[in-house]
Amino acid sequence: MIAAWVILGIVFIGVVAGIVSYNRFVSQRQMIKDAFANIDTELRRRYDLIPNLVETVRGYASHERGVFENVTQARANAINAQGPAQQAQAENILTGALKSLFAVAEAYPDLKANENFLALQGELSNTEDRIQTSRRFYNSNVRQYNERVQKFPSSIIANMFDFKQEQYFEVEEELREAGAPKVDFNAPPAVGGVTPPAAPPAAAPEAGGSQPPPEPPAPQA
């Protein structure tokens, strides 16, 4: 009789533990969905900013058609991406296209001083920061959930009720290190709307005068 009660007690504890584990899986999966929804909200804000940014730069550099087309296409692909993995891949491409767009802006001092451009650039940078914060929160939830899917004994409940591992929202390492695309407003202005070619470093000129040439100029004919 005692043995029967012991067996019933073990079964009861097992059932309760299974219910608790199942409910925790459900809660974790919902947290992951909510976390990804936060990422999606920030991404939509980013997508809304990009057309105005492109048009602002186009007003100063209309000949850079290839850059504008790349940004527009990358934005469209990101909007249509499905799932965290595909979305992250599309975002990597879009971030690279935006960096090219900001590189174009470097050649136009008037554009870099444009109030609309400054506002858009600042809002985009803030949005990028919020995306990274949301991404870290999402990936943290996914990591905890995936660990429970794989670890014993919670893996038993995961297999019984088809709780699958979730996908991370990952950004390519070089883009993660580079951060949000920014414009260097301390860079020397370009001349005539064209970025000057890079020159080897030279000694600084003396105060009050110009730097003497390394050798006398050749006599003119």
Interval 49-73: pLDDT, tens: 999 999 999 998 888 889 999 999 9
Is CATH 1.20.1440.20 the right assignment for the domain spanning 2-178?
yes
> Mean of the per-residue pLDDT values for the chain?
81
What percentage of the chain reaches a pLDDT higher than 70? 78
Q: What is the mean pLDDT of residues 78-101?
A: 92
Q: Does 216 score more than 70 pLDDT?
A: no
Q: What is the mean pLDDT of residues 114-118?
A: 90
At 6 the pLDDT is: 78
Q: Which two tokens stand for residue 202?
A: 């030279």
Q: Does 206 score more than 70 pLDDT?
A: no
At 173 the pLDDT is: 53
Confidence of residue 139 (pLDDT cuts 50, 70, 90): very high
Give the tens place of pLDDT for each residue, 156-194.
999 999 999 999 998 775 444 444 444 443 434 333 333
Q: Does 200 score more than 60 pLDDT?
A: no
